């Protein structure tokens, strides 16, 4: 998968503009961090990428092909998603990791391999997920997503409910996965320092519009736009300066 592109994408709900005329391209092999005030439309934006919702206007392209031309189940295997809460199924770690591949008719699923990828011991496979810590559950959620062999993973604030140690572990894991498996990540975060640590490119969404983007270091250190500077300085909420 070479790129994900949005062309003139808008989304309305209940007559309200949630996203307005989004034009952006996410190159493969990078971590793309989305920042912006709460309610700016970031979660809506990434849900459009694997068709959890469809745009009101515009189109989303993968390698130049409209995603409406892809089978939605196969699309979601190739573009996985990890949420703020792990949302694991009742049962064991093994049950969760095997779930997606079994649905597709696969029989030989190496659970230990996926546990190793996310830095967990083999003995985790028989543990009940209800007995795991929040950080462990989130790593199992990532392992479950990886078992579908995705090319892109969408991350909707995956560390916001975790303690600092677990947050660091997840950040390090995502960086390793990008480098080892050449995966692409689109990561929503409200933590500016996190965006600086993990993001190759950063995108500022305000009031449903993509108002700025660029290489992460440059965007934070040398903001070109006043609205970006205001947001970084904590003087912008909901698209309005304090």
At 66, which CATH number?
3.40.50.300
Q: Could you give the CA distance from residue 229 to residue 83 in angstroms, rounded to a whole number?
A: 28
Q: If you count DSSP H runs as helices and E runs as strands, how many of each does the chain have, helices first?
A: 9, 12
Q: CA–CA separation, 131 vs 82, rounded Å?
A: 20
* Alpha-helical segments (H) within the chain: 42-49, 72-78, 93-103, 111-117, 134-146, 164-181, 192-198, 216-221, 226-232
Number of domains in the chain: 1
Reported pTM: 0.93
Note the pLDDT tens digit of each residue in 188-232: 999 999 999 999 999 999 999 999 999 999 999 999 999 999 999
> Tens of pLDDT along 99-147?
999 988 998 999 999 999 999 999 999 999 999 999 999 999 999 999 9
Closest CA to 79 of 145, 9, 176: 145
How high does pLDDT run on average in the chain?
94
Angle at 173 between CA 168 and CA 175, to 5 degrees: 100
Nearest one of 237, 242, 240 to 37, comparing CA atoms: 237
Secondary structure letter of residue 53 according to DSSP: S
Give residue 240's pLDDT band: very low, low, confident or very high (50, 70, 90). very low
Strands 240-241 and 236-237 come out as antiparallel
- Quote the domain boundaries for residue 114: 3-241
């Amino acid at each position: 998968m070479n790129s994900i592109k949005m062309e003139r994408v808008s989304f309305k709900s209940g007559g309200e503009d949630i996203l307005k005329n989004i034009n952006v391209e996410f190159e493969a092999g990078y971590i793309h961090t989305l920042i912006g005030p709460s309610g700016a439309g970031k979660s809506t934006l990434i849900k459009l990428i694997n068709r959890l919702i469809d745009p009101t206007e515009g189109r989303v392209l993968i390698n130049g092909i409209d995603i409406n031309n892809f089978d939605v189940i196969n699309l979601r295997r190739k573009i996985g998603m990890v949420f703020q809460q792990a949302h694991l199924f009742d049962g064991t770690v093994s049950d969760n990791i095997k779930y997606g591949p079994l649905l597709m008719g696969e029989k030989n699923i190496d659970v230990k391999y996926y546990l190793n990828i996310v830095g967990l011991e083999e003995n985790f496979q028989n543990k009940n997920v209800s007995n795991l810590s929040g950080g462990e559950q989130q790593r199992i959620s990532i392992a479950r997503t990886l078992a579908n062999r995705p090319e892109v993973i969408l991350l909707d604030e995956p560390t916001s409910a975790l303690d600092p140690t677990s947050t660091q572990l997840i950040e390090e894991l995502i960086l390793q996965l990008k480098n080892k498996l050449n995966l692409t990540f689109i990561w929503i975060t409200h933590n500016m320092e996190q965006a600086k640590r993990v993001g190759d490119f950063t995108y500022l969404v305000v009031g449903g519009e993509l108002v700025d983007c660029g290489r992460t270091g440059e965007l934070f250190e040398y903001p070109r736009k006043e609205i970006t500077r205001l947001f970084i300085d904590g003087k912008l909420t909901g698209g309005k300066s304090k």
